[in-house]
Amino acid sequence: MAQERRRILIRGTGTVGYEFIRRLCLFTASGHPYFDWEEIIFDKRSPFEKNVPKIKQLQELIKEGVRPRLCTRKERVEEFKQIGLQPTYTLEEALERADVVFDATPSGGENKRLYETYAGDGRVFIAEGSEFKKKKQFGDIFVSGVNERAVLDNLQRGGQFFVVGSCNTHAIARNVLLIKKAFPSLPQEEIRIEATVLRRSDDPNKEQTTTSFSFSRFDEEYVEEGSYHAYNVLAAFRSVGDEGIKLRVTVAKLADPFMHCLLWKVTLPTRIPDARERFMEAVIADPFCSRTGYRQANIVYWESKEVKRFDVAPWLLRDRCYSHTIVCLPTVGTRVSDGKTVLEYCTFTPQDSNVILSNLEMACMAKNPDAFSTEEFHNLVAPLLEPREI
């Protein structure tokens, strides 16, 4: 039986880290046993005055129950005090206290050597995003809705290092699931799925550093997969014995701050007249998939944050789109080529938020893998996924 873990340290307060801490605190205040954390600690590296209101807002978020506690490096403690922030712990003390360490910084993979020195007593370490590659793997990949069973099995066997897949890894995996659900009777090894990821350049709240369109160079490490995105998705499916998926993903970067966009081409092994209708049924039925009639990334970005819901408990208040993918309805179409139906469409990735629920799920699994139920967790967060029309 795996041990229960009660203290969590989250490193990084950026686009993903901040919202993860905020949402974790809100759920902890709900009193649900999945979230009965004894202590939530967050690490802030640099004492910038511009971040003070944001950090104070985070610290004052919870009026009752567990409040997040700030930590930083020992040599930075006095600098934080000078701008009105009082760290509770040094980073070293926080690492000693935490049972679960969640690294949402860009350098999560590089921190593995540090974490290995704290790996005693069954601690669990989780990195975020692109820290799962053929030549550099922080730990086992997790993609919500795909391989909870494999991750729980690993945790129960004493596994300690994991990676939550990136925003586009989740988006790609969700679309693979849509295609599997739409065409369950077709041999999946005969379905060819191809996608091109048009990545946004920078977060909207950051200085824009990319000024032109650029292709990713050919990577000999991913000759078959096209990119690490496809490698991550395939690894997640393979961890639960799903070996037959044919997927290739290529990547380009746009000088655009709004949303990642994906162009899809799905070649089916035979002619299927109602392929579009089957796909649309799968889109409508999937709770982690939103849909939109808008075609412009800036409008979808804005509208996805405007779809709010307030008729729920405070920890379920929705202020952004938590879906894994947003299907652009006007782009969905089919054609016939060499006797095969080709399904083509486009999607948007709500990258600021589509991994937040996966982070929460991974934290809950790490906290007590023996008591965790995927179905119960998904039912718990379901109100955050509605409505799904943007």
State whether 182 and 305 are in the same domain. Answer: yes
Predicted confidence at residue 207, as pLDDT, reads 54
Predicted confidence at residue 323, as pLDDT, reads 95
State whether 230 and 270 are in the same domain. Answer: yes
pLDDT band at 152 (very low <50, low <70, confident <90, very high): very high
State whether 278 and 376 are in the same domain. Answer: no
Distance CA 276, CA 269 (A): 15
Q: How many helices (H) and strands (E) does the chain have?
A: 12, 15
Q: Residue 87's beta-bridge partner residues? A: none
> Is residue 255 pLDDT above 80, yes or no?
no
State whether 364 and 340 are in the same domain. Answer: no
Q: Is 108 exposed, middle or buried (0-12, 13-18, 19+ CB in 10 A)?
A: buried
Top-ranked range on mean pLDDT: pick from 21-30, 62-71, 142-151 = 142-151
Predicted confidence at residue 199, as pLDDT, reads 82
Q: Are strands 340-349 and 260-267 parallel, antiparallel or unpaired?
A: antiparallel
Predicted confidence at residue 154, as pLDDT, reads 97
Predicted confidence at residue 268, as pLDDT, reads 98
Please tell me the total count of domains within the chain: 2
> What would the mean pLDDT of 23-42 be, rounded to a whole number?
91
> Is residue 301 pLDDT above 90, yes or no?
no
Per-residue pLDDT reduced to its tens digit, 168-194: 999 999 999 999 999 999 999 999 999
State whether 147 and 293 are in the same domain. Answer: no
State whether 365 and 378 are in the same domain. Answer: yes
pLDDT band at 131 (very low <50, low <70, confident <90, very high): low
State whether 343 and 372 are in the same domain. Answer: no
Q: State both tokens at 350.
A: 């709500």
Top-ranked range on mean pLDDT: pick from 66-70, 286-290, 318-322 = 286-290
Predicted confidence at residue 263, as pLDDT, reads 97
Predicted confidence at residue 53, as pLDDT, reads 85
Q: Are strands 340-349 and 325-337 parallel, antiparallel or unpaired?
A: antiparallel
Instruction: Of 18-22, 87-91, 144-148, give the lowest mean pLDDT range.
Output: 18-22
State whether 359 and 305 are in the same domain. Answer: no
> What would the mean pLDDT of 131-136 be, rounded to a whole number?
70
State whether 337 and 379 are in the same domain. Answer: no
Q: State both tokens at 343.
A: 């399904």
Predicted confidence at residue 65, as pLDDT, reads 55
> Is residue 82 pLDDT above 60, yes or no?
yes
> Is residue 315 pLDDT above 90, yes or no?
no
Residue-number span of the structural domain to which 84 is assigned: 7-165+355-384
- DSSP of 318-348, one letter per residue? B-S---SEEEEEEEEEEEEETTEEEEEEEEE
State whether 156 and 256 are in the same domain. Answer: no
| CA distances, 254 to each of 44, 54, 82, 87, 121 (Å) | 30, 29, 40, 39, 45
More confident residue, 240 or 109: 240
pLDDT band at 149 (very low <50, low <70, confident <90, very high): very high
> What would the mean pLDDT of 98-104 be, rounded to a whole number?
96
State whether 278 and 305 are in the same domain. Answer: yes
> What would the mean pLDDT of 243-264 be, rounded to a whole number?
88
Predicted confidence at residue 1, as pLDDT, reads 63
Per-residue pLDDT reduced to its tens digit, 265-290: 999 999 999 999 999 999 999 999 99
> Is residue 217 pLDDT above 70, yes or no?
no
Distance CA 132, CA 381 (A): 26
Please state, as a whole number, how many other Cβ atoms lie within 10 Å of the Cβ of residue 389.
Answer: 12
Q: What is the mean pLDDT of the chain?
A: 89
> Is residue 242 pLDDT above 60, yes or no?
yes
Predicted confidence at residue 349, as pLDDT, reads 94
- 2 in a domain, yes or no? no
More confident residue, 319 or 276: 276
> Is residue 220 pLDDT above 90, yes or no?
no
> What would the mean pLDDT of 333-337 be, rounded to a whole number?
98
Q: What is the CATH number of the domain that holds 36?
A: 3.40.50.720
